[in-house]
Amino acid sequence: MFYWDNTYILVLIAFMLSMFASFGVQATFSKYQKVNSRRGMTGMDAARQILDANGLYSVRIEHIQGNLNDHFDPRDGVIRLSDATYQSASVAAIGVAAHEAGHAIQHAKGYAPIKVRNAILPVVNIGSSLSMPLFFIGLILGMTPLAMAGVFLFSGVLLFQLVTLPVEFNASRRALAILKTSSMLDAEEVKNAGKVLKAAAMTYVAAVLSSALQLLRLLLLVNRRRRD
């Protein structure tokens, strides 16, 4: 029989936030993916021009399969652009490519938040894989310290996401500033590219809120177990 717990309301809210943000970025990207830039520059071209203008000649650009899984990998020094970005001349593709180039610039300039994020990532990866098993084992066995250890490890995920926010917003600001001054896009196209990046940023905000709600739920469950 399905067991209803009032804290599931928090899970439902978190799910709705994530779905809303995901729908928003997909819809916005899809809209401006259909609008080609007047200069006809592709996402790959835009990323390469931005990198070269900042002296980052060694940073490579690779084409990967997928959609909206574009990313900068500082370990390999490469920007990976997806099918929807690499060879696309759309305003959306150029905005996304410029954003990833912004991450490369952050890394090169030693931007503090990205250094913090990269430093805590290995610990967070371990903590995130152990947090739920420890929490539920502690909850089931009535071992509150063990359950709280799981909560503590999960809080590391929230910390990582909080640190990620300024990294993502800053990369978008760098991208839009470059697009404005480089003439890769005209003023209206820069505005539309900004809409795409803003929608993408909202997925990170939604992730923070979802994790905060999940953390609250874990604390409520531990507190209920204590009372029982």
Q: Which residues are catalytic?
A: 100
Q: For residue 26, what are the contacts with CB-CB under 8 A and spacing of at least 6? A: 68
Question: Between β-strands 78-81 and 60-63, what pairing exists: parallel, antiparallel or unpaired?
Answer: parallel
Residue 16 identity (one-letter amino acid)? M
Q: What backbone phi and psi angles, to 5 degrees, belong to 150?
A: -65, -40
Q: For residue 16, what are the contacts with CB-CB under 8 A and spacing of at least 6? A: none
**Rounded-to-integer distance, Cα 53 and Cα 139, Å:** 55
**Nearest Cα to Cα of residue 96 among 181, 26, 20, 23:** 26
Tokens of 114: 């990205």
H or E stretch covering 79: strand 78-81
Rounded (5°) CA angle 191-205-152: 160
Rounded (5°) CA angle 210-107-194: 55
Tokens of 9: 């309301």
H or E stretch covering 27: helix 8-33
Tokens of 205: 């905000």
